[in-house]
């Protein structure tokens, strides 16, 4: 099987700016990806995710900044390495398989020019490489089939094998699972994640799906309006988001107005401990799983949503503030029940009012 760990570079993007039709798309993007790791770029539609991926691949020229693959600068200061010289593999959203070529021939098309041929079977080196790739992605029995006869998951595996054929040092994947149904998407992305980790290949995924980003990325870089808002491991993004917008983007968030004094803030929910001391008006971030409802008084359950694995209850506090509480399994309460509400969790993040963007 192909071995792709040798010479694997990291990726560094430094203050990259791109304008399209005189409109800024990337407004100074900077990020770093460790060699052999996986980064998920997460953000809403139109934030610049795909443009950033195209810039790294070389398909999109940049107007400012630098892009480095390991120790090699591939873009910046008037210098631009052609896409085919960057050792970067691409997996597109629609997979872009050739409908008239067999699975094996599609994969062979991704081989280096020196051994690429539609008659690759006559080249022992090419034939061995294609067989290795077929086995790697689990489609050996489909070698002679045409793409149109394959399922979405099978086509995705073929597209991945073709991208890996030239043994790239960096693999870029643009919304690679968005065309698959929910259950198949989860299965295929798990297989792809395991394969890329086994190969220790540096990979960058673009997605608008928060669950997908958290599953795939050793780190996640969240984009908004052409900039990186925060890059961090998934757990840090969830527990210590950089601003209120990000807090709500990466999960359900309760942002309560509060008055901070040192390491605690007084809110409609009561006194909440703070991770970082603050003073004055703040907005305090609580996740629904940190809000606990128990039999008592002071609040009323207004709605209960049951999802099987968990339940989300909306509760009206005495001042009219609505907060949500999540529990595993079914809720013990029904709409109309009177309850007590409290915070149970780690010290919370608080945002100064001047940092709040809604």
Given a cut of 70, is residue 343 above it in pLDDT? yes
Q: Which residue has the tokens 């010479």?
A: 7
Other beta carbons less than 10 A from residue 345's beta carbon: 14
pLDDT, position 358: 41
Q: Where are the domains of the chain?
A: 11-244, 252-355
Gap between the Cα atoms of 209 and 344, Å rounded = 28
Other beta carbons less than 10 A from residue 313's beta carbon: 26
Given a cut of 70, is residue 15 above it in pLDDT? yes
Q: Give all strands of the β-sheet with 79-80 in edge-to-edge order.
A: 23-33, 11-20, 64-69, 72-76, 79-80
DSSP string for residues in 95-132: ----TTS-HHHHHHHTS-TTT--TTGGGSHHHHHHHHH
Mean pLDDT of the chain: 90
pLDDT tens-digit map of 25-79: 999 999 999 999 999 999 999 999 999 999 999 999 999 999 999 989 999 988 9
DSSP reduced 3-state for 277:
strand
pLDDT tens-digit map of 117-158: 555 566 778 888 888 899 888 889 999 999 999 988 888 889
Would you call 122 exposed, middle or buried from its count of C-beta atoms within 10 A (0-12, 13-18, 19+)?
exposed
Given a cut of 90, is residue 198 above it in pLDDT? no
Domain spanning 252-355, CATH class: mainly beta
The domain 11-244 is placed in CATH, from the list 3.50.50.60, 3.40.50.300, 1.20.210.10, 3.30.9.10, at 3.40.50.300
Gap between the Cα atoms of 59 and 85, Å rounded = 12
H/E segment holding residue 197: helix 182-199
pLDDT tens-digit map of 213-263: 999 999 999 999 999 999 999 999 999 999 999 999 999 999 999 999 999
pLDDT, position 37: 94
């Amino acid at each position: 099987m192909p071995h792709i760990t040798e010479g694997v570079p990291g990726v560094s993007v430094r203050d990259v700016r791109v304008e399209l039709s005189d409109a800024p798309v990337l407004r100074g993007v900077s990020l770093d990806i460790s060699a052999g790791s996986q980064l998920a770029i997460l953000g809403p539609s139109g934030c610049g995710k795909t443009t950033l991926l195209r810039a790294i691949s070389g398909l999109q020229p940049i107007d400012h900044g630098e892009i480095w693959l390991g120790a090699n600068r591939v873009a910046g200061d008037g210098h631009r390495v052609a896409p085919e010289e960057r050792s970067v593999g691409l997996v597109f959203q629609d997979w872009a398989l050739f409908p008239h070529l067999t699975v094996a021939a599609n994969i062979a098309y991704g081989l280096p020019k020196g051994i690429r041929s539609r008659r690759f079977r006559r080249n022992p080196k090419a034939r061995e490489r294609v067989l290795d790739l077929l086995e790697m992605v689990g489609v050996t029995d489909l070698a002679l089939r045409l793409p149109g006869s394959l399922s979405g998951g099978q086509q995705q595996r073929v597209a991945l094998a073709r991208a890996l054929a030239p043994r790239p040092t960096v693999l870029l994947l643009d919304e690679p699972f968005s065309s698959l149904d929910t259950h198949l998407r989860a299965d295929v992305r798990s297989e792809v994640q395991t394969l890329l980790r086994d190969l220790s290949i540096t990979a960058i995924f673009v997605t608008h799906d928060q669950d997908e980003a958290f599953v795939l990325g050793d780190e996640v870089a969240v984009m908004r309006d052409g900039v990186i808002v925060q890059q961090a491991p998934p757990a840090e993004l969830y527990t210590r988001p950089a601003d209120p917008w990000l807090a709500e983007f990466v999960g359900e968030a309760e942002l309560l107005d509060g008055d901070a004094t040192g390491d605690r803030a007084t809110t409609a929910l009561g006194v909440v401990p703070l991770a970082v001391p603050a003073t004055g008006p703040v907005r305090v971030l609580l996740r629904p799983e940190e809000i606990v409802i128990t039999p008592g008084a002071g609040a009323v359950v207004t709605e209960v949503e049951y999802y099987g694995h968990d339940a989300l209850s909306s509760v009206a506090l005495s001042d009219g503030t609505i907060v949500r509480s999540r529990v595993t399994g079914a809720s013990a309460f029904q709409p109309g029940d009177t309850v007590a509400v409290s915070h149970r969790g780690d010290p919370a993040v608080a945002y100064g009012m001047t940092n709040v963007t809604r």
